[in-house]
């Protein structure tokens, strides 16, 4: 029974993890709005989700032949789908963070995250009702 429940929730769990990592990245962009030469980054959500559920369409991670090889400096599990945001207006200090774009992306991602949580809660409530028979 546990594996059936895990299989039913795997997609939602993957989407929720991706949304949480994207939220951290957007918060980092906002926090570094005044850092010279900081380049705003974002995750291609659609490609990362497709890659995570097995429909690999993007770049693959590099493999190493020795334990002494350097690993990726990106700490996200979806590092292959992280890119730099397009620069809409150049800043004198080389920073590419546009606060309006970042705030909008942050709010949109927050709404998607809350919707995912609500969907998972309703799915679990439905399963609990089905199991208890009430």
User: Running DSSP on this structure, what letter comes out for residue 91?
Assistant: -
- Average pLDDT of adjacent 10-residue blocks, the chain of 134 residues: 74 88 94 92 84 58 61 53 77 88 94 93 89 82
Burial group, residue 50, by CB count within 10 angstroms (0-12, 13-18, 19+): middle
User: pLDDT at position 103, please?
Assistant: 95
pTM of this structure: 0.72
Let me know the angle formed at the C-alpha of 24 by 41 and 63, rounded to the nearest 5 degrees.
65
β-pair partners for 83: 42
How far apart, in whole angstroms, are the C-alpha atoms of residue 12 and residue 44?
17
pLDDT score, position 74:
43
């Amino acid at each position: 029974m546990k594996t059936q429940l895990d299989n039913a929730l795997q997609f939602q769990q993957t989407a929720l993890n991706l949304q949480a990592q994207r939220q951290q990245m957007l918060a980092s962009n906002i926090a570094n709005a005044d850092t010279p030469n900081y380049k705003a980054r974002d995750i291609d959500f659609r490609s990362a989700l497709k890659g995570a559920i097995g429909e690999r369409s993007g770049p693959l991670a590099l493999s190493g032949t020795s334990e002494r090889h350097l690993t990726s400096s990106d700490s996200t599990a979806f590092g292959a789908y992280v890119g730099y945001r397009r620069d809409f207006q150049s800043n004198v200090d080389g920073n590419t963070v546009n606060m309006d774009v970042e705030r909008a992306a942050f709010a949109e991602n927050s709404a998607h995250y809350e919707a995912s949580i609500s969907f998972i809660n309703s799915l679990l409530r439905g399963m609990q009702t089905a199991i208890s028979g009430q």
